[in-house]
Chain A
């Protein structure tokens, strides 16, 4: 990564793939970050509001007295609200993950199964033709096991 960056390759044009997370290393950092916990809270609030409305409105819509409880019984309403709050948070987290991680995406433009054999794929997207040789040298010097060109340009 350093070799590519020092050659002037924009970080956005560098793709990294690995079979395990390397967040403690700079190349494993994702950007930009997403406020996933806050989105989960938001989802929870939406779910909770929906749950409260569902519980309240259904009780009002069919006003039958059960066990001497008020028509809108607070404890049962709280339970339904709570469950749908948690469901909202969970579903929002899943949706956020799918959208921000860009999955599902079944057609891969750039991928090599060697990644799941423990190799780390570092690719440069659309490098300038005159820079290819230099980038290949830099990657070899940095310890690349194998260099492949796919029309686009990748190094493993």
Chain B
């Protein structure tokens, strides 16, 4: 990549925007079909009532809340990882950041729909908002569900702007090459970006501040999602470990999603010269660390429950270790640790293929983890007479499949509208590699200036 000229970079990274292949359209149509099926299922549920789902007493949180937690977790792929890499000034981050930030925005948007889907009466979702109703009933700030409202919206606004702001120079680039209606659209989107030193200065400073702000916000979001559970006196939920456990799991699944997205982009958009094996290796190392951390948290959680020997907790413990949920539990361990650990620990297998395989298993494993946190506890709560079972219906399965399809579809559409790799950041990286900055750049107030004037 070091030999690339700025014009070649422009050409390579703007090429995906220039047209669509038949294969692309077929895949898009297939995904759109699944999304439409999911929408039909949702509307059927709205029409017929929540009874068409598998949610029954005592399990009122099933696939929908599993998906909510999973997608919110997956959203940690982008903004959080991108912000950390920006602040650490990791030079290899440049081709990765936008791929990651896009995942956050779409995953968060998808995740945020699930509490509404789960409501059964989605038209009453506005009851969650802190507005002064005519009845004088204000939302209950003491409910963790309301904390979700504030946390997710703060994170969504931060993530969207964190994605959009550094896109402005690239949108200006597309604007200057587009014609007709496209030029008009990109002109509006680029907000009149011209690239004056003032604009660059402000953009970089804003991005730095945003990177600092967005990290604690991201941590808070998944902590608060975990508190939806941990605030309730339900066996295996009421635990102080839940917040860091959830945050670690979120970053874990987020990195896996990022690796998968990058592998697909590399293959289908022919970005082999930009998304290099080193990017996969570095992210693979991060995934390895998170796999170990995940195992540590699971072990700590299980050990504490087992040692405490509380009857209600032990019921859930054994039902997942050896009972009806054990196949899913051990599949989760297989997917989150047994398979990815050797693949990522051995340098020879920490390749693009190896990290991608590990990422697929981690995404599956992390979905299972969310499911296993929710359903076994609710179905085995305290008194045996209240125990029950949960089986998702076709409605929940279709809606779940629809969200996965929607994620891929949105990502595919986005990659055809905006350069999926930040072009200007890539150029800065290449320039810095080729020509390190002068050691002592004089202030602009000095009369005799040096540099490239």
Contact = CB atoms under 8 A, between A and B. Distances in A.
A83 B220 CA distance: 8
B201 A23 contact: yes
A93 B209 contact: yes
Interface string A58-85: 1101101011010001001101101110
A115 B448 CA distance: 26
B174 to A, nearest CB: 9
A97 B172 CA distance: 17
A142 interface: yes
A101 B203 contact: yes
Interface of A: 1-3, 5, 11, 15-31, 33-34, 36-37, 40, 51, 54-55, 58-59, 61-62, 64, 66-67, 69, 73, 76-77, 79-80, 82-84, 86-87, 89-91, 93-94, 96-98, 100-108, 111, 113, 115-118, 142
A36 B198 contact: no
A27 B453 contact: yes
Contacts of A80: 141, 146-147, 150
Contacts of A73: 141-142
A16 B196 contact: yes
Contacts of B201: 21, 23, 29-30, 33
B192 A97 contact: no
B157 A87 contact: yes
A49 to B, nearest CB: 15
Contacts, number: 225
Given A1-B453, A24-B438, A97 B206 contact: yes
Contacts of A77: 141
A97 B194 CA distance: 14
Contact of A94 (B192, B206, B428, B431): B206
Interface in B410-453: 424, 427-428, 431, 437-438, 441-444, 446-453
A84 B453 contact: no
A115 B194 contact: yes
B138 A61 contact: yes
B142 A104 contact: no
Given A73-B141, A93-B209, A116-B176, A20 B427 contact: yes
Contacts of B210: 90, 93
B184 to A, nearest CB: 10
Contact of B206 (A66, A67, A83, A93): A93
Given A24-B437, A116-B172, A97 B203 contact: yes
A20 B452 CA distance: 14
Interface size, B (range): 35 or more
Contacts of B443: 26, 29
B452 A25 contact: yes
B193 A79 contact: no
Interface of B is mostly: helix
B224 interface: yes
A96 B210 CA distance: 12
Given A24-B441, A97-B203, A91 B157 contact: yes
Given A36-B206, A90-B214, A101-B199, 12 more contacts: A1-B453, A5-B447, A20-B169, A26-B442, A59-B141, A80-B141, A80-B150, A90-B158, A97-B203, A103-B192, A116-B10, A116-B172
B220 to A, nearest CB: 7
B151 to A, nearest CB: 5
Given A20-B431, A23-B204, A76-B147, A61 B453 contact: no
A26 B453 contact: yes
Interface string B1-45: 000011100100000000000000000000000000000000000
A38 B354 CA distance: 45
A108 B202 contact: no
Contact of B453 (A58, A62, A111, A142): A142
Contacts of A34: 202, 205
Contacts of A33: 201
A19 B195 contact: yes
B196 A82 contact: no
Contacts of B7: 117-118
19 contacts: A2-B448, A15-B196, A18-B195, A18-B197, A18-B200, A20-B424, A21-B204, A22-B452, A25-B453, A26-B443, A36-B206, A37-B205, A59-B142, A80-B141, A83-B154, A86-B216, A94-B206, A97-B206, A100-B198
Contact of A21 (B188, B193, B213, B428): B428
